[in-house]
């Protein structure tokens, strides 16, 4: 993905601390991509990008970022859930839609 990316919405994202099973290090890439799920037990996941604008995002932090899904048809469903989960081989964080 290059150039300007139009976000699907803004999410408040919490990365779990390393001690709580989160990532071992910060997110430093722009954009950062990982699958996300409606429920931690789901087998299905959808790829999305966190548009960090180069901001460092460390385990244990909560920040607001624009996000972009690679499957546009799933966006309305993610807008409706109270919370969704970031997955990197395990659940590493959670997010809520704020706008």
pLDDT computed for residue 4 by the predictor:
81
- Write down the pTM of the prediction: 0.93
Give dist(CA 85, CA 93) in Å, integer: 6
Q: Which CATH class is domain 9-97?
A: mainly beta
- Smallest CA-to-CA distance from 27 within 36, 39, 16 is with 16
Tens digit of pLDDT at every position of the chain (99 positions): 445 889 999 999 999 999 999 999 999 988 999 999 999 999 999 999 999 999 999 999 999 999 999 999 999 999 999 999 999 999 999 999 999
- Smallest CA-to-CA distance from 9 within 62, 64, 58, 57 is with 64
pLDDT computed for residue 90 by the predictor:
95
The structural domains of the chain, with segments of one domain joined by +, span 9-97
pLDDT computed for residue 3 by the predictor:
58
């Amino acid at each position: 993905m290059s150039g300007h990316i139009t976000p699907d919405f803004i999410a408040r994202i919490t990365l779990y601390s390393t001690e709580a099973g989160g990532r071992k290090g910060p997110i430093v890439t722009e954009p950062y991509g990982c699958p996300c799920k409606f429920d931690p037990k789901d087998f299905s996941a959808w790829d999305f990008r966190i548009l960090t604008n180069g901001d460092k995002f460390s385990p244990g932090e909560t920040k607001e970022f624009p996000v972009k899904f690679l499957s546009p048809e799933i966006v309305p469903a993610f807008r409706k859930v109270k919370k969704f989960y970031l997955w990197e081989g395990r659940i590493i964080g959670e997010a809520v839609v704020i706008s």
